[in-house]
Amino acid sequence: MRFHQFIAVGCLSLFSLASHAEILTGLYQVREPVASQSPDERTQATQKALATLVLRLTGDAKAIQSPALEAVRKDPQQIISQYGYDAGPPEALQVDFDPVSTDRALRQAGLSLWGTNRPALLGWWLNDSVEGASLVGDGQSAAEPLRRAAQHRGLPLRLPLADLSEQLVGTAENLEGSNPAPLKEASERYGADALLAVHAHEDGGQWQAKWRLWVGDQQEQGSASAADQAALADAVLLQVSERLAPRYAVKPGVSTEQLLQVQGMTLERYAQLGRLLEPFGGQLISVDGDRIVYQVNGSAEQLRSQLGLAQLHEVPADQVQSVATDGQAPGTVTAPVPQLRFSW
């Protein structure tokens, strides 16, 4: 397909492929519990909501204290589109922040920004209490605190069905073990980008948790404690968010300008790739058959992580030369060579 035809038809395509990553809705909407609807309570809740949002979008707990955000901290209303109260329980102030003005404020402050396209997590969560052990499944009442925590921390969370076969897999031994093979095999049908294993248990009125996160071949782990299950879920998912953010959040003015080539393009993939490259300021350079070249601003590792969300694979170095010279006559002036090459 010729370039102008490709673009003309591509502009009509807004649907996505069966990739695992999710466009997270409600990312700029924050709920914070309140004891009343008094002005002082609303002011405090608004400040908490602002801190929660900045952490969601940057993955950096210290970002809210940036001197460049002082004006926003003093007057959050400049980036708020509306707010209201949710009767709950618990009663909460719901603050809707304006995405455009919020992103602009963070970029002008020189802060990293993590977009709405985020890795889908499959959470294997085992609760151990005096009543026994229970694997949290999709549709169970015990799943609600996990979903609220995931929304609060800006993470797309999926849960297994927790049927009999999955209960046999989701044991404390497998969830705390360093070998993800049993969980990965049982997780294949859910099509997630990352695997989160959590073993939570009650101890003397407190809840403790050990967690492991697998993203591709890389593993993260940690622990958390809280007074109840809801607070524990929030603490665990906060830690997970902070570990994931550096892989995807792009800091303005620091990234490297590169050329990215992607092979195996189709119309649907063109629309999806454009969304994936938004945080990197992707600019279309050329289209040649099913190959497309973008100019992007971002580190190679961040680009690899982002493109991995769409199941793209990097072209091995030993294949790059044959791809670059295929069909090219001797003495032909070559175009700039892409630093990164991927293929569907």
- pLDDT digits over 17-70, tens only? 334 567 888 999 999 999 999 999 999 999 999 999 999 999 999 999 999 999
How far, in Å, CA of 279 to CA of 275, rounded?
8
Count the helix, strand and coil residues of the chain and give each as a percent rounded to the nearest 5: 40, 25, 35
pLDDT in tens, 261-303: 999 999 888 888 888 888 888 889 999 999 999 999 888 888 8
Predicted local confidence at residue 89, as pLDDT = 83
pLDDT in tens, 139-184: 999 999 999 999 999 999 999 999 999 999 999 999 999 999 999 9
The residue type found at 55 is: L
Give the phi and the psi of residue 228 in degrees, each rounded to 5: -145, 175
Predicted local confidence at residue 253, as pLDDT = 66
Q: Pull the structure tokens for residue 228.
A: 């109840």
Domains and CATH numbers, the chain: 3-18+252-343 (no CATH), 28-108 (no CATH), 117-247 (3.40.50)
Local confidence band at 6 (pLDDT 50, 70, 90 cut-offs): very low
Alpha-carbon distance values, 90 to 35, 47, 205, 310, 320 (Å): 9, 18, 22, 37, 57
Q: Pull the structure tokens for residue 86.
A: 């949710």
Please give the residue that has the higher pLDDT: either 328 or 249: 249
What is the pTM for the complete model shown? 0.82
Confidence check: pLDDT of 13 > 70: no
pLDDT in tens, 298-334: 888 888 888 888 889 999 866 655 444 455 555 444 5
- What does the mean pLDDT of the chain come to? 88
Predicted local confidence at residue 277, as pLDDT = 87
